[in-house]
Amino acid sequence: MIQHLKHFIEGAFVEASDGGRMSLISPVNEEEFATAARGTSEDVARAVAAAEAQLDGGEWSKLSGSQRGGLLNRLAALVERDAELLAEMDAKCIGRLPMEPRMMDVPNAIGTFRAAAGWANQLEGRTIPTDGYMGTRTLSYTKREPVGVVAAIVPWNAPLMITAWKLAALLAAGCTVVIKPAEETPLSAVHLATLCQEAGFPDGVVNVVTGLGQVVGRALCEHPSVSKVTFTGSPETAREIQRIAGASFKRVALELGGKSPQIVFDDANFEHAVRGCALGLFVNQGQVCAAGSRILVQRGVAKRFSAALAQAAASVKVGDPSAPGVQMGPVAKKAQFERVNRYIQSGIDQGAELLAGGVSNPEKGWFVNPTIFSGASNDMAIAREEIFGPVGTIIEFDSEEDAIALANDSEYGLAATVWTENLSRAHKVAAALKVGAVGVNCWSPLDPNLPWGGIKMSGIGREGGFAGALAYTEEKVVTVLLP
Ligand code: NAD
């Protein structure tokens, strides 16, 4: 049965103001499996008004940090209860194996809500010694106040987890939100909003407006009552958002893409590094912002390592995620399928050696081949641009200095992995890498207590950890004259 999804505004399911709907298409068989309301700027205005009403005297604004923390703990328990359903929702929308969100995204979301429950009453101000005011002593202290209504714009690749990162932190800080899920993945966002209601968050604190980025996302960035936009997605969209939001001086946090290096030294634990690199390349069909798609291998082990990684790629069973034994589903959408194949063709055209995979041409479904190139140079498009698919580019290096220079020769700066058994080398290289996060002998270790985000073209700001909650507050200073 085809599901028909509506917005969730002020605790109620609502159709688009003009009745518009959009299709959700299965990447496995290219058939419609659901529809969702195609939001309008009127819908956005209605959701922002509901969110605004809960601030400055609304029921939500009167809750203490401990009370907000209690609600977040209840929400974590409800996400845990519905873990299977939420994993299936995300998997269905993008053709992912449900096992992946079940093992990674959903537990991470639960942990994020639990961690944020603890931060909610830790957002302390400071007492600051001053020089007084015109010869009279003063007392100055600061308070942490919520920034206000937040627009949370989310991509399709890990919808529940990325929504949870934003939602947990902003709720801990006392903000309210309008969530704009990606066109392809509105299911888990709407369900999460209903869980917020069930947990006891006042209606209007968490709202979801589904629809197109150019309409709903844009209207949120333009709305004068939205104080902050938190966005995860592509650099192209981020530029547009920053331009629009900048006109009204909104706070903007951007989590963007990457071309993350995995550096394999000749002293690495070989088997461990092959398995880890394959995970960083192929999990979620490579549609991961931190995908370790640029594999820098020290020349002494390069041939053996390339062969082992190619073997790992060739052994991945691609197909319908519901079929037994399948290890990789299709990519999420047609545009993504075409993009990945275009990059594979460009690697071939630019002279890289194709060790596994290649351009795919399935009869039905957006299935792509796990692909490995070797003999590449760092100026090829497959080494510089984010592909967002299961394509790895192997580049050889000689020395530690070469590896660092190659790794840092990128417009992106999200994450990096270092594979070595030499502890001092690991720390030295980690310090020299120009990225937001380094994993040593582990690819992309996400944890709700750690900050996550990039530098350069990978974005601005951090999500996660206590700093993630602080980012949804403003520090107000109060000075009292003490005559
Ligand atoms: P996208 O930028 O096309 O879309 C992201 C979101 O922005 C969607 O909800 C979309 O509807 C919305 N949007 C589109 N145009 C908009 C506009 N003009 N105004 C406001 N909102 C608009 O990106 P995508 O295709 O959904 O995701 C893929 C990209 O996201 C990749 O580049 C990937 O690296 C990046 N990404 C980064 C992270 C991270 O944590 N750093 C996580 C996931 C994805």
Work out which ligand 1 atom sits closest to the CA atom of 156: 26
129: left (phi over 0), alpha (psi -120 to 50) or beta: beta
- Residue spans of the domains in the chain: they are 3-256+458-481, 261-447
Query: Once rounded to an integer, what is the mean pLDDT over residues 170-193?
Result: 98
Which residues have C-beta within 8 Å of that of residue 45, sequence separation ≥ 6?
219, 223
**For ligand 1, what atom is nearest to the CA of residue 181?**
9
DSSP of 414-460, one letter per residue? SEEEEE-S-HHHHHHHHHH--SSEEEESSS----TTS-B--EETTEE
In the CATH scheme, what is the code of domain 261-447?
A: 3.40.309.10
The position carrying tokens 């079929």 is 323
Pairing verdict, β 455-456 and 412-413: antiparallel
For residue 201, pLDDT over 80 is answered with yes
Q: What is the pLDDT of residues 299-314, one digit of tens each?
A: 999 999 999 999 999 9
CA 219 – CA 43 distance, rounded (Å): 9
As beta bridge partners, residue 178 has 151, 207
Instruction: Please name the residue whose Cα sits nearest to atom 16 of ligand 1.
Output: 213
Q: Do the beta carbons of residue 192 and residue 167 sit within 8 Å?
A: yes
CA distance 432 to 453: 17
Ligand 1 pocket, mutate which of 153, 160, 463 (most atoms under 8 A from CB) = 153
Please, which residues have CB within 8 angstroms of residue 171's CB and are 6 or more apart in sequence?
68, 71, 72, 116, 120, 177, 201, 205, 206
- Atom 22 of ligand 1, nearest CA residue: 213
Q: Would you please indicate which residues are annotated as catalytic (active-site) residues?
A: 255
Collapsing DSSP to helix, strand or coil, 184 comes out as coil
Of 445, 441, 398, which is closest to residue 422 (Cα–Cα)? 441
pLDDT tens-digit map of 33-69: 999 999 999 999 999 999 999 999 999 999 999 999 9
By C-alpha distance, which of 355, 350, 257 is closest to 315? 355
| Arithmetic mean of pLDDT, 202-226 | 98
Give the residue from 355, 362, 276 showing the smallest Cα distance to 95: 362
Question: Whole-model pTM?
Answer: 0.97
Question: Ligand 1, closest atom to CA 154?
Answer: 9
Q: Please give the pLDDT value at position 246.
A: 95
Which residues have CB under 8 Å from 293's CB, separation 6+? 259, 260, 280, 281, 286, 386, 387, 391, 392, 393
Residue closest via CA to ligand 1's atom 6 equals 155
Strands 294-298 and 391-397: parallel
Report the separation in Å between the CA atom of 253 and the middle of ligand 1, taken as the mean of its atom positions. 13
Query: For the CA atoms of the chain, what is the radius of gyration?
Result: 23
**pLDDT band, very low/low/confident/very high, at 3 (cuts 50, 70, 90):** confident
Q: What is the Cα–Cα distance from 186 to 160, expressed in whole angstroms?
A: 9
Q: What is the mean pLDDT of residues 148-163?
A: 98
Distance 42 CA to ligand 1 centre (A): 23
- Residues with CB under 6 Å of ligand 1 are 153-157, 162, 180, 182-183, 213-214, 217-218, 221, 232-234, 237, 240-241, 255-257, 289, 386, 388, 414, 459
The residue whose CA has the least distance to atom 30 of ligand 1 is 233
Pocket of ligand 1, candidates 232, 239, 241, 391: which has the most ligand atoms within 8 Å of its Cβ, to mutate?
A: 232
Question: For ligand 1, what atom is nearest to the CA of residue 238?
Answer: 2
Q: Residue 37: CB partners within 8 Å, gap ≥ 6? A: 5, 6, 7, 14, 15, 16, 20, 21, 22, 43, 209, 210, 211
pLDDT one-digit tens code per residue, 24-34: 999 999 999 99
pLDDT tens digit sequence for 268-292: 999 999 999 999 999 999 999 999 9
CA of 88 to the centre of ligand 1 (A): 21
The first and second tokens of residue 51, run together, are: 């969110």
From the CA of 1, how far away is ligand 1's center (Å)? Answer: 29
The pLDDT of residue 155: 98
Q: Which among 154, 179, 216, 234 is the best mutation to test ligand 1's pocket, defined by most ligand atoms within 8 Å of the CB?
A: 234
What is 3-256+458-481's CATH number?
Answer: 3.40.605.10
How many Å apart are CA 362 and CA 76, to the nearest integer?
Answer: 40
Higher per-residue confidence, 446 vs 11: 11
Residue 472 CA, chain-centre distance (Å), reads 17
Chain mean position to CA 266: 32
Going by their DSSP bridges, the two strands 459-460 and 251-255 should be labelled as: antiparallel
144 or 446: which leads in pLDDT: 144
Of the residues 231, 237, 455, which should be mutated to test ligand 1's pocket, given the most ligand atoms within 8 Å of the CB? 237
Which residue's CA lies nearest to atom 9 of ligand 1?
A: 182
pLDDT tens sequence across 324-375? 999 999 999 999 999 999 999 999 999 999 999 999 999 999 999 999 999 9
Q: Which atom of ligand 1 is nearest to the CA of 158?
A: 43
Q: What's the pLDDT score for residue 1?
A: 65
Q: What is the mean pLDDT of residues 399-425?
A: 98
- Mean residue pLDDT across the chain: 97
User: Quick one: average pLDDT of 84-96?
Assistant: 97
Phi and psi at 394, nearest 5°, equal -95, 130
Integer Cα distance of 393 and 353 in angstroms: 10
- Give me 435's structure tokens: 């990225």
Work out the percent of the chain whose per-residue pLDDT is above 70.
Answer: 100
pLDDT at 2 over 80: no
